[in-house]
Amino acid sequence: GDSVTQTEGLVTLTEGLPVMLNCTYQSTYSPFLFWYVQHLNEAPKLLLKSFTDNKRPEHQGFHATLHKSSSSFHLQKSSAQLSDSALYYCALGSGANTGKLTFGHGTILRVHP
Amino acid sequence: GALVYQYPRRTICKSGTSMRMECQAVGFQATSVAWYRQSPQKTFELIALSTVNSAIKYEQNFTQEKFPISHPNLSFSSMTVLNAYLEDRGLYLCGAREPGLGASQNTLYFGAGTRLSVL
């Protein structure tokens, strides 16, 4: 079945350092990957989603590349900001058009001055 | 833009009673609505996926008898938690899907959730 693994539960960084949050997946069908960001007491918001034509999605300085060879969709940013502190979820959508997203357990990102 | 509203934001009910939560999509047609529960220990648990004019699909460990869902049109869905007990506590999220192709067909826009506490 489908599954998503986010290896880090908590990532703590100093402002200005690069960010990388890991995400690997197992998918039965052609995968679509997403990153959602959730701030305290707010809705999970879509941050990025993968494309099928090898474009690299970018938003708010974050980017991620879908690597089917390694089944990965790691989230990266060159320089962390204090406002990036939040809970980040990697999610897998199935190409079978079920409308179902499978989520990882999430990674808390804490950025300090 | 695509917005999803959920209400109430918070609710408290007595053990054994029921409560209903609602989900409203604004700015797009929500052909499908996925109801998730986010509990402190677990990630998003999919309860059911509801598509207009189709049968509602419940995930293992969740049933229509416990979590009846209504999805009467392309902008509204509701779910009731019947006979709520402590294990039903958590944040219930509604994710609405817009029609589209490729990644868009799997993109969910979430509401802020209804936090259920059970006394």
A89 close to B (CB below 8 A): yes
How far is C-alpha B1 from the chain's CA centre? 20
Chains A, B: CB pairs < 8 Å: 63
Chain A interface includes B34 (CB < 8 A):
yes
d(CA A31, CA A85): 28
Rounded distance, CA B108 to CA B84, Å?
27
Domain locations in chain A as residue ranges: 3-112
Residue A62, beta-bridge partner list:
A59, A77
Paired with B36 in beta bridges are B46, B93
* CATH 1.10.8.350 corresponds to the domain B3-100: no
- CB of A72 closer than 8 Å to CB of A90: no
Answer yes or no: are the C-beta atoms of B103 and B94 closer than 8 Å: no
Domain boundaries, given as residue ranges, for chain B: 3-100
Inspect the interface and report whether the beta carbons of A43 and B106 lie closer than 8 Å.
Answer: no
Cross-chain Cβ contact B103/A49 below 8 Å? yes
Residues of B in contact with A41 (CB under 8 A): 112
Nearest to A35 by CA among A81, A72, A80, A69: A72
Using 50, 70 and 90 to split pLDDT, how confident is the model at A52? low
Q: Point out the residue among A46, A100, A105 whose CB comes nearest to the CB of B49.
A: A100
The lowest-confidence range among A11-20, A50-59, B8-17 is A50-59
For residue A69, the Cα-to-chain-centroid distance in whole angstroms is: 17
Tell me the per-residue pLDDT of A71-107, one tens digit each, with 9 for 90 and over.
Answer: 999 999 999 999 999 999 999 987 655 667 899 999 9
Going by CATH, does the domain composed of A3-112 fall within 3.90.550.10?
no
Q: Express each pLDDT in B32-68 by its tens digit.
A: 899 999 887 668 899 999 988 788 999 999 999 999 9
What digits encode the pLDDT tens for the residues B75-117?
999 999 999 999 999 999 999 987 766 556 678 889 999 999 9
Among the listed residues A92, A88, A87, A67, the one whose alpha carbon sits nearest the alpha carbon of residue A3: A92
Neighboring chain A residues of B113 at a CB cutoff of 8 Å: 43
Cβ-Cβ contacts under 8 Å, A52 against chain B: 102-103
